[in-house]
Copies of this chain bind each other. A is one copy, B any other.
Amino acid sequence: MARIAVVAGDGIGPEVVAQARKVLDAVLPGIEATEYDLGAARYHRTGEVLPDSVLAELAGYDAILLGAVGDPTVPPGVLERGLLLKLRFEFDQYVNLRPSRLWPGTTGPLASVKPNEIDLVVVREGTEGLYAGAGGVLHRDTPAEVATEESLNTRHGVERVIRDAFARAGRRERRKVTLVHKTNVLTHAGSLWARAFATVAAEHPDIETEYQHVDAAAMFLVTQPQRYDVVVTDNLFGDILTDIAAAVTGGIGLAASGSINPERAYPSMFEPVHGSAPDIAGQGVADPAAAVLSTALLLDHLGHSDAARRVTEAVAAELAARTSGTPRRTADIGDRLAASAAS
């Protein structure tokens, strides 16, 4: 039986994770889950972000379910670099998977797009690029100050994430992969990405391919999101594009994500894209849908694709049945989803 680590985290994290666990227990009874106390609260209490001993323990799990970490009182970068990105990098989670669907029963902000018309997945590189942390500051706070950030891209890292994108496209209906980069300006990294993409594409003559500059893709995600199936892109572009994709499908409240090591050499991590939302924490009104959808990605990753499908369908049915204006309680939604996914 699978063993997972649960990092409920801060703000609404614990509330939504509690619902995700209800659903997990319902579809996979006997799954072993161990709670880890990490995030802003622990940082304030102990000064620790991710002790080495905890990192070593986490490495032993099959997967990690994360709620949300962060709080405005923690300086920028501390939890991001020290916890989230540390886990992505240490556990070689090179596929950052972010599906976006406009679910039946929901309305996005776009006047002309109907439910089911958006169904895309962004395969964002998770272990390289500008997220490597390379760079520095010289002559701080003087007129001569200079600050650098370096994007590091390896053939190894780029090609493997592109391979993953093509493999996913091969399992989908439309079988199309869009590469997004900025090859006309970032000519060095762009050239590597374009050549690696061409190599992998040549091995998949059955899959349609296209290339777009990141600025054009950002625009088309707003004007024609229907055109995308699988999008593969670098770490920073993926960060931005997935928030646009979330926005056009009704906001990050429904967006799920997985930071995946496809070979399962290390645990993969699943988390809603939304943050800790301190403003609504503790009121029992947070929507657990994104956390539950992240659980479906977790199940799929662990090979329980049937359970994953049932969880996803339970969320879809829940969203389709929602009537606007009806007050929603986090725990009730979790109960309904657990019951519906179990059956």
Report which A residues bind B (CB closer than 8 A). Answer: 76-77, 80-81, 85, 107, 109-112, 130-131, 133, 135-137, 139, 141-156, 182-192, 195, 214-216, 218-220, 222-223, 236, 239-244, 246-248, 251-252
Contact = CB atoms under 8 A, between A and B. Distances in A.
Nearest to A143: B155
B154 A146 contact: yes
Given A81-B185, A130-B186, A146-B153, A218 B244 contact: yes
Given A215-B239, A219-B243, A148 B155 contact: no
Given A77-B185, A143-B155, A243 B215 contact: yes
Contact of A218 (B130, B135, B148, B240): B240
Given A135-B186, A219-B252, 4 more contacts: A77-B183, A109-B223, A144-B155, A222-B248
Contacts of A151: 130, 135, 148-151
Contacts of A141: 155, 195
Given A183-B77, A185-B77, A219-B247, A148 B153 contact: yes
13 contacts: A107-B111, A139-B155, A146-B154, A147-B153, A147-B188, A147-B191, A148-B152, A149-B150, A215-B242, A218-B241, A218-B247, A219-B246, A222-B248
Given A148-B153, A246-B219, A130 B80 contact: no
A152 to B, nearest CB: 6
Nearest to A153: B147
Nearest to A135: B188
B243 A76 contact: no
Contacts of A220: 247
Nearest to A129: B149
A195 B143 CA distance: 12
4 tightest A-B CB contacts, nearest first: A145-B155, A222-B247, A147-B192, A111-B111
A137 B192 contact: yes
Nearest to A152: B148
A236 B184 CA distance: 12
A85 B37 CA distance: 49
